Amino acid sequence: MIETGELEPGSHLRQRDVAELLGVSPTPVREAFRRLEGEGYIVTEPHRSSVVVRSENSRLYENALIRAALEGLGSSLAAAHVTDEALEELEAINRELAESTDLESARSANRRFHFRIYELTDSPVLLAQLRLLWQTLGSGPHVDRPLDESVRQHKEIIEALRAKDGDSAAEATHRHIVEAHRAMAP
């Protein structure tokens, strides 16, 4: 209901009312509220109703901003460690992305491209954070840009890595992520 806009930001939710509406006991509703709060959809104060604080679009845009910052850092760090072999792997994955004929194969290639870069950072903490962040996206980032644009932007990232230019790699990665989600900005 939050994702469809039926419950707008500012809407008040009471566990008992939601349980009655859905025909379930308060226990699963209480657990769902905890999860929604953990994901940033609602805020709950003890002994009070919960309040919807943001829409799905604002949540996804916020996630994109966090990804852009962390992944930009990852690309910057990877520039110092990138090898010719890794660059060849990235180019091969990007070609696979360009030749994708369905959404599932495109998302898979996109994920492998990004995570191959982050594996080069030699930072287990950053890699763990990025894995956790991507898990919140389910099957991967949901964007509505043309595939050829993603492929072109990936090439820009590869070229910055090839030049071992961490700042340019970070900037290209940041732009790649934020531009894809700009339409969702709250």
Q: 1: which residues sit within 8 A by CB, 6+ positions away?
A: 7
Label residues 113-133 b or e (16+ Cβ within 10 Å = b): bbbebbbbbebeebbebbeee
pLDDT in tens, 72-109: 999 999 999 999 999 999 999 999 999 999 988 998 99
Strand, coil or helix: 12: strand
For 30-78, the pLDDT digits (tens) are 899 988 887 777 887 777 788 887 665 666 777 788 889 999 999 999 9
Closest listed residue to residue 127, CA positions, set 167, 174, 73 = 73
Q: What angle do CA 123, 116, 161 make, to 5 degrees?
A: 85
What CATH number is given for 12-54 in this structure? 1.10.10.10
Same-fold call for 12-54 versus 57-184: no
Instruction: Report if pTM > 0.85.
Output: no
* CATH no. of 57-184: 1.20.120.530
The CA distance from 62 to 41, in Å, is 12
Would you kindly state where each structural domain of the chain is located, as residue ranges? Answer: 12-54, 57-184
